[in-house]
Amino acid sequence: MAKRGTAGNGDKERGDQESGGKGKRPTRRRAGGSQKRTSRSTTFGEWAWEWGKSILIAGILFLVLRSFIVQTFVITSGSMENTLLVGDMLVVNRAAMGTRIPLTNIRIPGYSEPHRGDVLVFTPPPPDSVKMKLVKRLIGMPGDTLQMKGGVLYIDGKEQNEPYVRHTGGPDESYPWMVWQKKYLEPGVDPRTYSPTRDNWGPLIIPPGRYFMMGDNRDESLDSRYWGLVERWRFEGRAEFIYFSYHRDPYKAFPWLREIRWGRIGKGIH
């Protein structure tokens, strides 16, 4: 009987061991699952951190590129036709003219100076300076004597050959803003009798540090003839090429997709 009792105790102990073993296995699985979740959490955190750093770096590079090197500009008026058309999207070289550091008055010098004939993006003088940026062609340099007679431009008394100019016709006109020209008239011209019009004005002497801007579509452009000379610091950059263009037809759906001007994409601006 004792032996059977001993055997019974042994069976019970083995049963307890087996039962204990079975009880511990789920515990080991739970511990393993916790480690797995921790590993996944760590992996997600590292992934999110790497993506965050990439986005931050990309954002900083974009701001530097946008502020100091290149800019985009969309043509919304016909003042530069046919050189530039409504719907043309331009790449503007900001590094060429130099740029102002945002939120400061510090200006980084450009690697080149503006030249006659450049197509430039700039901030116009008041009253338009608050409203927009413009793109026009640089016509008058400091020290030039400018005059227009019958819609023909003269620089230092010489008639200019301007193949890019477009005339749409229409009567000549005067404008009250053109009174600014009286301050820059060539000696010998009486400002009291001076009455400039769109196609007949001058001769004007351009002072140091000032520039005279005009649109290629001479009959449809509000430019220096009307609102005055432009200071050097107002230049934003030189228009280089057209990266995209489409016919902005308001009566068609998705014109940016259906009315693409393929022949203008990549075209340089001269």
CA-closest candidate to residue 119, choices 221, 261, 226: 221
Q: How far is CA 38 from CA 30, 41, 64, in A?
A: 12, 5, 39
Do residue 62 and residue 185 come from a single domain? no
- Domain presence at residue 22: no
Question: What's the number of domains the chain is made of?
Answer: 2
Do residue 184 and residue 238 come from a single domain? yes
One digit per residue, the tens of pLDDT, for the chain of length 270 reads 444 444 344 444 444 444 444 444 444 444 444 444 555 556 877 777 777 766 766 666 555 555 556 788 999 999 999 999 999 999 999 888 877 766 666 777 778 899 999 999 999 888 665 568 899 999 999 999 999 999 999 999 999 999 999 999 889 999 999 999 999 999 999 999 999 999 999 999 999 999 999 999 999 999 999 999 999 989 989 999 999 999 987 777 777 778 899 999 999 999
Do residue 48 and residue 110 come from a single domain? no
Do residue 62 and residue 143 come from a single domain? no
The predicted structure's pLDDT at residue 136: 97
- The whole-angstrom separation of Cα 206 and Cα 178 is 15
Do residue 137 and residue 57 come from a single domain? no
Side-chain half-sphere exposure of 10, counting CA atoms within 13 A: 6
CA-closest candidate to residue 180, choices 237, 218, 115, 124: 124
Do residue 138 and residue 39 come from a single domain? no
Do residue 55 and residue 88 come from a single domain? no
Do residue 56 and residue 139 come from a single domain? no
Query: Domain limits at 176?
Result: 75-264
In this structure, what token pair is assigned to residue 199?
């196609």
Do residue 130 and residue 248 come from a single domain? yes
Contacts of 81 (CB under 8 A, 6+ apart): 166, 216, 217, 220
Do residue 163 and residue 215 come from a single domain? yes
- Domain presence at residue 85: yes
Q: What is the enclosing helix (H) or strand (E) of 135?
A: strand 134-140
Do residue 56 and residue 130 come from a single domain? no
- Domain presence at residue 13: no
The predicted structure's pLDDT at residue 29: 47
- The whole-angstrom separation of Cα 166 and Cα 154 is 16
The predicted structure's pLDDT at residue 130: 55
- Domain presence at residue 15: no
The predicted structure's pLDDT at residue 68: 53
90: CATH = 2.10.109.10
Do residue 138 and residue 234 come from a single domain? yes
CA-closest candidate to residue 82, choices 5, 2, 167: 167
Which residues carry out catalysis?
79, 136
